[in-house]
Structure 1
Amino acid sequence: MPEQIDEEATRSPGPGLRLLPWATPAGNPCYLSTDDSGGYLSRKADEMEAEQMREGAAVLTDAEEVLDDSTAGPLTLRVTLQQATRALGDVLRIAASRGGRLPVPDDPDADG
């Protein structure tokens, strides 16, 4: 069965924490606490996210080709779906990480 996307990994970790694009050996999310977006770990995380996005784009292209191939067998479809779900999990993690670092807008109703 494909690995389930961990809801915990897609939640915002809180202010000042960055969800990293890798997990602990036990599969738990890793966070970085820093104000230095140019630090070593931040740069490594940025590089890994960029690679994951490139891989996701390649998987999407491959999946489109497989879906267009009416002769693709069950094994090819299964492998393609496994690759696509892994890539989607990576992209969701990146989106959660980047979303967690966006500034929170002021609530216009709070001024009321």
Structure 2
Amino acid sequence: MAKPDAPEVLRKGDEVVLVRDLREVPEGTEGKVSLVVGLSWIRYWVRFANGVAVGSVNRRDLATPAEWRWRQEHPDEDDAEAAGAEEAEEAGGDAGGGGGYTHAGVLVPQKLLDRSKAARERLGA
């Protein structure tokens, strides 16, 4: 079975499954997209079956039911794909030297933290 074609951007009302543990929601919990936010950086508000609603969820943390079934049947291929994506992010240098700070499940890249620190120093704060 080939990896299912999945939309890059989910739509309001789409059924999803959480791919990794996130705050009060365990991996594998089903949910429904309740709001799609953003233009170039899309984030999702999802209401999960356990009654928890979570905002600012990244697409890579959500799978359609077909993608979830495929992940369960092909765990080795999925792990290799995830490792390749992480290496590509690191090579891109988006994190400004790596690292960052995670708040409420959202990574703030080190580059942005460094810019904020430099601005405070310029302003004498």
Between 1 and 2, higher relative CO (CA 8 Å, sep ≥ 6) is seen in: 1
- TM-score, length-normalised on structure 1? 0.25
More strand as a share of residues: 2
**Higher fraction of helix:** 1
